[in-house]
Chains A and B, each alone.
Chain A
């Protein structure tokens, strides 16, 4: 017979404490096993590619690859002394350059260095052409004089200083370019000339448009959410369809709808002309500019504001406002002092969600944005598919991603990602 001091045991004679621990551990392991496949899937198909892309923003192995020996001898040269490198550097460059020119890859380095300073692309193409036919046996002068004869740029310290700076495996130049900064000949970081600064303005414009859109969605979403939260559930369910239908409708459908409405020969302009508010030759231009982006994106993102606001307002007990009224508050005071403070959490949740979504928007600005309505995403796409400056695209993307992640963490603190609801 077991004494009372003896530990409790399960049927198979293991102590209960141990058995419970085991079962808890087993449960934990099972739970982890259930999540593991998705976790690995997201890791391989999503997180790793993004991480890989971020590395492209600093990666710079091309100089080492194309000029392997030049990079080594050039490392000892100090551009700050203001003198041209030694003869051995010119010789190494001639040898490396000739191999690269015969393999037809030297122009790739020229294109890469052209991002830093224009003129390098043509310099490398010209030098490559000459080096391909170059025969070291017939060399009558020094390698230095020979290269300078091909192009006098090789006689300038700045040319070699740039090559020296970009000969490492990593570069900060893409990130600097993404922030409109540049390195001067002495290697100090400074602002680009005023007329070639574009990205800071672009980031500011993206943030400004996103702020405006967030503000407009709050302005338009608040009354609707309030109405839906206070109406009888039968009526509000019906009206909810008017919110959910745009939410479920394809982004491109809504964008093309706004094109049909806003363009010069579109429905709104036609109506205004027909009523006689504007004359036929002074039609409003509401598309292919920031107005178009603003209107279309506010419409597209409005449901993302209404739904979280609605779910917060739904939880506010109407007796709060009644109590305030019965104690003598006017309708406006009761709203301002009692109802509104209770909805701040909803405004925060919806606001951050809309802001996150609008800051990275691509399709709508691309179709209705014109020039001054384009956002940072459009430039990332341009550098990936048109200009092929992938390093700069990666650097711009990394800055955008950092902005979004900061907001995401804020959202998580305010709402909690596991409390996110849809529909």
Chain B
């Protein structure tokens, strides 16, 4: 990317123009997220910077919206619901998804593309259609407005991510390692737990994080399938934005951004660790 010494003036101009464009696009990507952080400390009930905030007057800032969030029983219940639903749907989708990925990654697997296509379909079908279909079906089997219904629905939506991530881990998998273990007299189950599991664990954990965030972020399906007892954080934010718009939403958003930064780094660390374990040099 560096500019060569013999670059012409035109090339120089273009080079710096290109860099400027890139900076602007990065701003477009990141500013909306950064702007939330200071706004969530607004002392006034507005979504905009007040003159006091701009002059960095401490009176313009307060943590009142965070206090509202932590003291409001509705928000606290939403946090609890979100965590419970995301936790159980992650467990279901990780166990089913990992098993399927192990099967799919075998060379002998018949109709691989078709089955893979079906297993990944929940990721591709528009959420509103999934939500509508599940709504009618769950109404018949009396699962509307139950935690189990929402958990099953979220698990179905999250499994494609687990399948994709774990399958990707397994494509780089060196099968001579398991053959070597078998050659040295290890039983298939011993080989699985001592060789395969440690190697795919980073992939499984990052699949689990994808599954968790899918459920934790999901709002369309929960709006259709849930009752007020399944109100999750995204649901509370959705109705908050629609009904009375208050900076509490921005305080929640700030907390969620912190949470996604942690997740982002966790996934990145796991990816690198996985590549190291499997002997792939990162590029």
Task: Name B176-193 residues within 8 Å CB distance of A.
Answer: none
Once the chains bind, are A52 and B133 in contact (CB under 8 Å)? yes
**A194 contacts the other chain (CB 8 A):** no
Q: Which of B152-171 contact A (CB under 8 A)?
A: 152-153, 155-156, 159, 161, 163-165, 167-168
| Residue B59 CB within 8 A of the other chain | no
Q: Which of A9-42 contact B (CB under 8 A)?
A: 24, 27-28, 30-35, 37-39, 41-42
Point out the residue from A241, A246, A253, A408 that lies within 8 Å of B124, measured CB to CB. A408
Q: List 10 A-B contacts (CB under 8 A).
A: A34-B99, A45-B156, A53-B137, A220-B28, A233-B282, A242-B26, A250-B217, A261-B32, A367-B238, A377-B128
Contact of B29 among A39, A48, A230, A299 (CB under 8 A): A299
Other A-B pairs beyond A27-B106, A380-B128, 7, CB < 8 Å: A46-B156, A53-B133, A223-B25, A250-B253, A253-B256, A359-B126, A423-B267
B97, B100, B132, B237: residue with the most chain A Cβ atoms closer than 10 Å: B132
CB-defined contacts of B238 to chain A, threshold 8 Å: 252, 363, 367
Residues B32 and A258 in contact, CB atoms below 8 Å apart: yes
Question: Are B96 and A38 in touch, CB under 8 angstroms?
Answer: yes
Q: Which residues of A are found within 8 Å of B30, using beta-carbon distances?
A: 242, 245-246
Chain A CB within 10 Å, residue with most, of B49, B97, B153: B49
Smallest CB separation, B60 vs chain A (Å): 14
* Residues of B close to A266: CB separation below 8 A: 47-48
Let me know if B234 and A250 touch, CB within 8 A.
yes
Asked if B124 and A249 make an inter-chain contact with CB atoms under 8 angstroms apart, the answer reads no
Interface size class of A (residues with CB under 8 A): 35 or more
A-chain residues with CB within 8 Å of residue B35 when the two chains form the complex: 257, 260-261, 267
- Tell me whether A385 and B96 are in contact (CB under 8 A): no
Report A294-332 CB contacts with B as 1/0, cut-off 8 Å: 000001001100000000001000000000000000010
Q: Any chain A CB within 8 A of the CB of B264? A: yes
Most buried by B among A42, A53, A314: A42
Contact check, A360 vs B128: say whether CB atoms are below 8 A apart: yes
Report the minimum CB–CB distance from B121 to chain A (whole Å). Answer: 7
> Are A384 and B135 closer than 8 Å at their CB atoms?
yes
A417: interface (CB < 8 Å): yes
> Chain B residues near A265 (CB, 8 Å)?
46-48
Q: Are B267 and A256 neighbours in the complex by a CB distance under 8 Å?
A: no
Residues of A within 8 A of B117 (CB): 408, 412, 417
| Contact assessment for B264 and A422 in the assembled complex, using a CB-CB cutoff below 8 Å | no
**Distance of A50 Cα from B112 Cα, bound (Å):** 23
Taking a contact as CB atoms under 8 Å apart, the answer to whether A251 and B219 are in contact is: yes
Contacts of A362 in B (CB 8 A): 126-128, 220
- Tell yes or no: A418 within 8 A of B by CB: yes
User: Quick check: is B108 within 8 A (CB to CB) of the other chain?
Assistant: yes
